Structures are given as structure tokens and as C-alpha cells.
Amino acid sequence: MNNKALIAAAAWLLSGFVQASPVGLWKTIDDATKKEKSLVRITEQGGVLSGRIEKLLDPQSKPDAVCDKCSDERKGQAIVGLNIIRNVRQNADDASIWEGGDILDPNNGKVYRVRLKPVDGGKKLEVRGYIGAPLLGRTQVWQRVE
């Protein structure tokens, strides 16, 4: 085996061990309508993830819309710039899953527990919002933008 083939084989093997991260910019896709809704940037600070809406993609959305249905401190805040994912940490037993925090649906003001799982080599993100157990919820698949 020549050096190039050996390096390529080693890179291929190692790629299976590298865990994709939810950190980055994501295009949200509505699970019911399959329409693009927004761009959400997920950041990490001290091992904790948070996500903020950067842009609304629905042409019918008002650029100055506020979260009037929110019932916590986010009530009345602008949707663009709104922190919708909070306090998410990597699972100690399964490094491919991030959980323990919550996600806000600004359309109805409800807050759900959340589980994030990068899939397809980190090109997609399964976002599962639920009440109680993950079995009682729904999943959206977001697409990585950057």
C-alpha cells in the first residue's frame, strides 16, 4: 500500500470516530408542512448549547414579529434574535446525543424538553421536542447551512 492510500484509509477510519456537533447554522424545516421556516445558530459555551433565530425564511413572516404567545421572560421579544434552545448538554453515555435543555416553539409559546442528534455525518440535525419522555414528542430534521 502506498503512502497516499494509507493516509486515505486512516482518514476514513478516523472519520467514523469523530462525533458531529450540533454547533453551527441550521435551516429549520417544519415537520408538518416541510417548508423552510428559519435559520437558527447553535453555539456552545462551557459545554452548554444554546440556539438563537437569526433569520425568518417564510415570506409571510413579519420581520418585526414578537413572541406574543411566550409565557416566560421571552414574552414580547423579537422572534429574530430570540433564544429558542437553552441548557443542552452532551449525553454522558452517548456522545452523539445532546439533551437536558429545552426548546421554545415561538408559534404557540410552548416550551418542550429537547434532544439534538446530528445525523448524516453532521449534515442534518434531528431535533426532538417532547413532554416527559422522548417517546411523547415530535421530530424535525434541520439542514446544516454552515
pLDDT tens-digit series, residues 81-104: 999 999 999 999 999 999 999 999
CATH for 52 = 2.40.128.520
For residue 78, the enclosing domain spans 20-144
Residue type, 11: A
Angstrom distance (rounded) from CA 11 to CA 15: 6
Could you give the percent of the chain with pLDDT greater than 90?
Answer: 71
- pLDDT tens digits along 24-39: 999 998 878 888 999 9
66 domain residue, yes or no: yes
Going by C-beta distance under 8 Å and a sequence separation of 6 or more, which residues neighbour residue 41?
24, 25, 26, 51, 52, 54
25 domain residue, yes or no: yes
6 domain residue, yes or no: no
Identify any residues that bridge with 36 across adjacent strands, giving them in sequence order. Answer: 29
Main-chain dihedrals φ then ψ at residue 12, nearest 5 degrees: -65, -45
3 domain residue, yes or no: no
How many structural domains does the chain have?
1
90: closest CA among 36, 20, 16?
20
